[in-house]
């Protein structure tokens, strides 16, 4: 790949110009596909269907396949010999079986100049090794790749122009690869509608051994085993859809898969070892009649399949397709009716955690089926806890006791849930095994030093990323000791983290808070029979206790209810009742602040459920007044301020907030995000390091007129910002458009339906690249 001919120079000048869509963006004058089977043929078909303007030629040892490809219009020309097709081609795709790759490379070596070469093999280490054997080293313009797509069919006749659309193509570039060559291969696959990812060669082979090679091996083995039995005709005659679906891949090309298993032998055997160990565990549970062990495995697998489907779609949504969930809310409307918002997220998290560590079975009602809470469920399943549900808010947890958790096989992913990560840090610091906690992009920006530092003082060994941020790597088997800790900042998450760690510590753990914070953990621990004491600003417990299972009825989340409380409070003619709302004294800052602003807000049907006070809340419109928010109410309403800022913008006069620097380190900098959004609507705001001044606007139209204009808001992916500005449209003169609203479904499933039910004119739209 060193010499350069006049033909190559001319070819470079003749390279086609890029255009704006599909395969027309591929700037190759001629593409040579070596091996015209399903994969190579589908690549050619996809490029043709996308409007690729260059020439596609192919080389295949079977001249009938070349003739068929030309007749189908998949390729323009080709033959069974390489030499005539290489020199004038700018990019060459090797689409032959893995074990045939080295022979093709040897034939190509004397013919190559500066062409870019790539491959489609499903094992990369074997192909890299073959290239090194032929060329001495992997050439700089040879980019290893693997499309994760296929079919049990084979040959160019099975070519499918949509085979790669929405599928992944993994490239495994080496440090010495030419970046321009990598970019050209990326463009080739992107033009086919594929998602192009990069991965190290060794990691690729390990991952594919588990997700592709092992399933094919098992399908071949199962069908072969049944086919050799005397009653095979009866077995196949009555096989159901599940058998057909799983064994479909056993119809794939046997020669190709023999080569794959041979080329990736070590990784396939390692994956098979893990699988055999899992089957042995399940077999043992069946033999023993151990229902809990069987349920733990089956339920974990069932929900992992569902959960990771959602997870992977969300990851692709955020980073690949760049789609934007946008809300458009028309101005005006009224808020009337009776609704019940989803269960409290904080209590939902804690019910799973304590239920998993309890002795016995815990029944939970009202569980919040949002992605954050589901991430907590899945994490405990991965640590060996059998959990049934959720189904319509009902969850059954088969507790394993304080020391019954098992080491997960990989990092525990908690999505966007800061509560889960901080509470897990305390709980896992006392386990005998190592764990790693990770989350989505938003969560990896949030500070975790506030829990890691005091846990280290208790004897925990915790590694964080730069700046004390996730992921958290927690070393198991540490002897924890109780501490007396004065929190520098009021935080229920930090307090709860240390109390959970204190259950595993020697002696007494005491946590003092500078201002009151929510006390769900203390209440629920006592409810599970683990004594926690309180005296003013101090909470403490002794290590070494146990938890006893019991029923939990999760109240409606007051943080979710807040958006509707504010909606009714600011909208003329409103009369709304919210049922079964949690009114824990450490969470009612929003109620106290709205009442101080003059809201007509009445609590009825007050009672306790599982130690948590609940009530129905009725809100009717009356004009609000701006206030100076009392300092003692700030920690009691920290999550509710985005909605309260909308109330302030609709009130008469100025509302002042100080001592709320915690808002800077939520899912977004909520002080800055709300200030920017309100200013975009024409509201006068003054931002401070720890607070904000908001001047309500009436524009001379009286209490019942619009308070501000409309406009476009960037929610920064923060669900509370998105929902707050949705409510703001009730007092706007024009529509409010809110970008980046996908995370609303994570924390508040059903928000859109409830908003429409009570009278908001809210439309949701998914848009590309916006």
Same domain, 389 and 508: yes
Residue 705: per-residue pLDDT: 76
Q: Say yes or no to pLDDT of 370 above 50.
A: yes
In a domain, 455, yes or no: yes
Please check if 422 is assigned to a binding site.
no
Based on the fold, state whether residues 528 and 576 are members of the same structural domain. Answer: no
Residue 283 known to bind ligand: no
Distance CA 721, CA 770 (A): 18
Residue 14, pLDDT above cutoff 60: no
Residue 639 annotated as part of some ligand binding site: yes
Alpha carbon of residue 616 to chain centroid: 34
**Domain co-membership, 764 together with 627:** yes
DSSP tag of 165:
T
Average pLDDT value for residue range 138-158 = 88
Residue 314, pLDDT > 70, answer no
Distance (Å, whole) CA 540 – CA 502:
9
Q: What is the rounded distance in angstroms from the CA atom of residue 380 to the CA atom of residue 382? A: 5
Residue range of the domain that includes 172: 6-199
Mean pLDDT across 491-517? 95
Whether 627 and 690 share a structural domain: yes
Query: Which whole number is the average pLDDT over 398-419?
Result: 90
Q: Supply the pLDDT for residue 231.
A: 64
- The response to whether 5 counts as a known ligand-binding position is no
% of the chain beyond a pLDDT of 70: 90
Residue 323 pLDDT level (bands cut at 50, 70, 90)? low
CB-based contacts of 14, cutoff 8 Å, min separation 6:
29
Neighbours of 245 (CB within 10 A): 9
Residue 641 CA: distances (Å) to CA of 231, 576, 633: 69, 20, 11
Regarding whether 588 and 534 lie in a shared domain, the answer is no
| pLDDT higher at 2 or 85 | 85
Per DSSP, 476 falls in state: S
pLDDT in tens, 218-252: 988 888 887 777 666 666 666 666 677 677 777 77
The encoded tokens of residue 88 equal: 């004038």
Dihedral angle over CA of 293, 296, 299, 303, nearest 10: -160
Residues 665, 542, single domain; the answer is: no
Tokens of 431: 């386990």
Query: Which residues lie across from 324 on neighbouring strands?
Result: 767
3-state SS string over 420-457?
Answer: HHHHHHHHHHCCCCCEEEECCCCHHHCCCHHHHHHHHH
Instruction: Give the CA-trace dihedral at 408, 409, 414, 418, to 10 degrees.
Output: 60
Question: According to the model, what pLDDT value does residue 240 have?
Answer: 60
Least confident range of 375-379, 569-573, 757-761? 375-379
> Does residue 696 sit within a domain?
yes
* 39 and 80 belong to one structural domain: yes
Q: Does 210 lie in the same domain as 184? A: no
C-alpha 725/C-alpha 264 separation (Å) is: 53
Residue 666 counted as domain residue:
yes
pLDDT at 224: 81
Name the least confident of 267-271, 367-371, 405-409, 634-638: 367-371
Confidence of residue 2 (pLDDT cuts 50, 70, 90): very low
672 has pLDDT over 50: yes
418: annotated binding-site residue? yes
Of 549, 572, 603, the domain-final residue: 549
User: Is 210 labelled as part of a ligand binding site?
Assistant: no
CA dihedral of 108, 110, 113, 118, whole degrees rounded to 10: 20
Domain count, the chain: 4
Does the annotation list 124 as a binding residue? no
Q: What are phi and psi of 628, to 5 degrees?
A: -95, 115
CATH code, domain with 41 = 3.40.50.720
The DSSP H or E segment spanning 246 is: helix 241-247
Tell me how far apart the alpha carbons of residues 348 and 555 are, in angstroms, rounded to a whole number: 9
Name the residue with tokens 């159901």.
240
Cα maximum dimension of the chain: 90
| Position 181 pLDDT exceeds 90 | yes
The domain that holds 483 is classified in CATH as: 3.65.10.10
Answer whether residue 309 is part of any domain.
no
- Cis, peptide link before residue 471, omega less than 30° from 0: yes
Overall pTM > 0.85:
no
The reply to whether 495 sits in an annotated binding site is no
Q: Quick check: is 68 in a domain?
A: yes
CA distances from 601 to 344, 426, 450, 615 (A): 20, 38, 36, 12
| 670 annotated to bind ligand | yes
152 pLDDT band, cuts 50/70/90, is low
Q: Between these two residues, 361 and 667, which has the higher pLDDT value?
A: 361
Could you tell me if 501 and 566 lie in one domain? no
User: Which residues sit opposite 169 in a β-bridge?
Assistant: 147, 196
SS3 220: helix
Cα–Cα–Cα angle for 272, 278, 282, rounded to 5 degrees: 140
pLDDT in tens, 26-42: 889 999 999 999 999 99
Length reported for the chain:
770
Does residue 608 belong to any structural domain of this protein?
A: yes
Burial class for 639, CB neighbours closer than 10 Å (0-12, 13-18, 19+): buried
**Pair (177, 213) in one structural domain:** no
Domain boundary among 530, 549, 568: 549
**Does some domain include residue 317?**
no
Average pLDDT, integer, range 91-108: 94
Closest CA to 580 of 548, 610, 611, 606: 606
Alpha helices in 50-168 (DSSP H): 63-72, 83-86, 101-108, 125-135
Query: Tokens for 475?
Result: 């070393």
Contacts of 758 (CB under 8 A, 6+ apart): 335, 336, 337, 339, 564, 567, 568, 576
H or E element: which one contains 417?
A: none
Residue 392 is predicted with a pLDDT of: 83
Give tens-digit pLDDT for 52-75.
989 999 999 999 999 999 999 999
Residue at which a domain ends, from 531, 549, 567? 549
pLDDT at 703 exceeding the cut of 70: no
Give the separation between CA 34 and CA 82, rounded to whole angstroms: 8
Do residues 328 and 735 make contact, with C-beta atoms less than 8 angstroms apart?
yes
Q: What is the pLDDT of residues 325-351, one digit of tens each?
A: 999 999 988 899 999 999 998 899 999
Q: What is the pLDDT of residue 17?
A: 36
Q: Pick the more confident residue, 560 or 703.
A: 560
Residue 625, marked binder: no
Query: What is the DSSP secondary structure assignment for residue 194, as one 8-state letter?
Result: P
Does the bond joining 390 to the residue before it have cis omega, within 30 degrees of 0? yes
315 located within any domain: no
Instruction: Write the pLDDT tens digit of every residue in 439-495.
Output: 888 788 888 999 999 999 999 999 999 889 999 999 999 999 999 999 998 889 999
Confidence of residue 699 (pLDDT cuts 50, 70, 90): very low
As annotated, the active-site residues are 639
Side by side, which strands form the sheet with 386-391?
386-391, 394-398, 361-365, 552-553
Is 493 labelled as part of a ligand binding site? yes
Is residue 372 over pLDDT 90? no
Residues 351 and 467 in one domain: yes
- Local confidence band at 321 (pLDDT 50, 70, 90 cut-offs): very low
468 and 566 in a single domain? The answer is no
8 A C-beta contact, residue 342 and residue 581:
no
Q: Which two tokens stand for residue 743?
A: 């995370």
Q: pLDDT category, 534, cuts 50, 70, 90?
A: very high
* CB contact set of 480 (below 8 Å; sequence gap of 6+): 429, 430, 458, 459, 460, 501, 502, 504, 505, 506, 543
pLDDT value at position 295?
82
**Does residue 598 come out as left (phi exceeding 0), alpha (psi in the -120 to 50 range) or beta?**
left
């Amino acid at each position: 790949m060193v010499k350069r001919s006049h033909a190559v120079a001319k070819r470079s000048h003749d390279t086609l110009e890029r255009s704006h869509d599909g395969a027309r963006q591929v700037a190759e004058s001629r593409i040579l596909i070596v091996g015209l089977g399903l994969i190579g043929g589908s690549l050619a078909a996809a490029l043709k269907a996308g409007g690729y303007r260059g020439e596609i030629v192919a080389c295949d040892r079977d001249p009938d396949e070349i003739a068929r490809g030309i007749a189908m219009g998949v390729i323009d020309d080709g033959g069974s010999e390489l030499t005539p097709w290489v020199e004038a081609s700018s990019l060459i795709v090797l689409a032959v079986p893995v074990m045939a790759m080295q022979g093709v490379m040897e034939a190509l070596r004397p013919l190559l100049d500066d062409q870019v070469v790539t491959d489609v093999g499903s094992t990369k280490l074997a192909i890299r090794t073959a290239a090194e054997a032929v060329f001495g080293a992997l050439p700089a313009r040879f980019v290893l790749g693997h499309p994760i797509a296929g079919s049990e069919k084979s040959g160019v006749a099975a070519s499918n122009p949509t085979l790669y659309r929405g599928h992944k193509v993994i490239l495994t570039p080496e440090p010495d690869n030419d970046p321009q060559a990598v970019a050209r291969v990326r463009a080739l696959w992107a033009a086919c509608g594929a998602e192009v990812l990069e991965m190290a060669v060794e990691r690729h082979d390990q991952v594919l051994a588990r997700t592709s090679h092992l399933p094919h091996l098992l399908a071949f083995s199962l069908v072969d085993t049944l086919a050799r039995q005397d009653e095979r005709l009866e077995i196949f005659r009555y096989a159901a859809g599940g058998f057909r679906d799983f064994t479909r891949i056993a119809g794939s090309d046997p020669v190709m898969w023999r080569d794959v298993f041979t080329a990736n032998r070590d990784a396939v055997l390692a994956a098979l070892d893990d699988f055999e160990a899992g089957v042995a565990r399940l077999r043992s549970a069946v033999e023993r009649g151990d229902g809990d062990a069987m349920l733990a495995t089956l339920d974990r697998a069932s929900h992992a399949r569902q959960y990771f489907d959602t997870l992977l779609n969300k990851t692709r949504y955020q980073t690949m397709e760049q789609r934007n969930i946008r809300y458009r809310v028309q101005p005006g409307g009224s808020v009337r009716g009776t609704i019940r918002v989803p269960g409290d997220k904080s209590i939902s998290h804690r019910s799973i955690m304590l239920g998993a560590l309890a002795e016995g079975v815990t029944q939970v009602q009202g569980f919040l089926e949002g992605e954050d809470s589901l991430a907590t469920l899945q994490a405990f399943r991965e640590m060996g806890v059998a959990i049934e549900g959720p189904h319509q808010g009902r969850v059954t947890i088969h507790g394993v006791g304080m020391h019954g958790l098992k080491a997960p096989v990989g990092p525990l992913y908690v999505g966007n849930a800061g509560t889960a990560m901080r509470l897990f840090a305390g709980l896992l610091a006392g386990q005998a095994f190592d764990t790693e906690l990770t989350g989505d992009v938003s969560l990896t920006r949030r500070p975790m030093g506030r829990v890691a530092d005091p846990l280290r003082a208790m004897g925990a060994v915790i590694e964080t990323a730069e700046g004390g941020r996730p992921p958290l790597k927690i070393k198991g088997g540490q002897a924890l000791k109780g501490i007396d800790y004065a929190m520098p900042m009021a935080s229920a998450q930090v307090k709860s983290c240390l109390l959970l760690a204190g259950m595993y510590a020697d002696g007494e753990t005491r946590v003092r808070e500078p201002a009151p914070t929510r006390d769900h953990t203390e209440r629920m621990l006592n409810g599970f029979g683990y004594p926690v004491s309180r005296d003013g600003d101090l909470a403490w417990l002794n290590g070494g206790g146990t938890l006893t299972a019991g029923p939990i009825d999760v109240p409606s989340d007051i943080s979710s209810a807040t958006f509707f409380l504010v909606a009714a409070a600011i909208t003329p003619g409103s009369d709304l009742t919210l049922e079964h709302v949690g009114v824990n004294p450490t969470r009612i800052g929003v109620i106290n602040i709205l009442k101080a602003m003059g809201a007509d807000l009445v609590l009825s049907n007050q009672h306790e459920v599982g130690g948590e006070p609940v009530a129905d809340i009725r809100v009717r419109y009356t004009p609000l007044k701006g206030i100076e928010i009392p300092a003692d109410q700030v920690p009691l309403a920290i999550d509710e301020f985005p909605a309260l800022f909308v109330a302030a913008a609709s009130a008469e006069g100025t509302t002042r907030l100080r001592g709320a620097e915690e808002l800077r380190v939520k899912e977004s900098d909520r002080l800055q995000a709300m200030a920017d959004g309100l200013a975009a609507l024409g509201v006068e705001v003054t931002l401070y390091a720890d607070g904000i001044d908001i001047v309500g606007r009436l524009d001379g139209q009286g209490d019942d007129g619009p308070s501000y204009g409309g406009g476009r808001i960037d929610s920064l992916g923060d669900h509370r910002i998105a929902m707050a500005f949705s409510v703001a449209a009730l007092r706007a003169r024009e529509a409010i458009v809110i970008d980046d609203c996908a995370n609303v479904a994570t924390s508040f499933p059903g928000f859109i339906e409830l908003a429409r039910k009570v009278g908001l004119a809210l439309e949701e739209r998914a848009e590309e690249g916006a």
